Amino acid sequence: MSLGLKDKGIRNNLFSSFRFALSGIVRAVKKERNLKFHLIISSIIIFLGFYYQVSAVNWMMLAIAMGLVITMEMMNTAIERVVDLVTKDFHPLAKEAKDIAAGAVLVAAVVSVVIGLIIFLPKIVDSLF
């Protein structure tokens, strides 16, 4: 069954959307120091997950936590870019928007650390004693 012209347009738009999204991810990773830090920490967590052979449920929790932090960091970056586009001058609302976005990253990171401690701390303590 061949695709009609309309179907090809939908498919091309879908592929374009993925290409744009991937481009945004790559750009964020290249330019954002904090995102690089979160990716390094995520890599360490993945290593620890394999090392301590965490359960499937724990892997899901870790994946959600890591994904949440990385997503929030990228949203924070997007908000900062938009605010900078709108005004280069100091404005209390611009500062507030940036601070709130940064706060969202902090909340996600703290929750992720708590999840990591719940999963890994007992395993680390058991391996030491």
Residue stretches of the annotated binding site for ATP: 32, 80, 98-99
Q: From the CB of residue 15, how many other CB atoms can be counted at a distance below 10 Å?
A: 10
Residue for token pair 């870790």? 62
Cα–Cα distance measured from residue 39 to residue 50, given in angstroms and rounded to the nearest whole number: 17
Annotated binding site for substrate: 73
Q: Catalytic residue among 65, 66, 73, 101, which?
A: 73
61: helix, strand or coil = helix
Annotated binding site: 32, 73, 80, 98-99
Alpha helix locations (H) across the chain?
5-31, 33-51, 56-86, 92-128
User: Torsion over CA of 82, 20, 32 and 42, rounded to 10 degrees?
Assistant: 130
**Is 73 among the catalytic positions?**
yes
The residues annotated with a catalytic role in the active site are 73
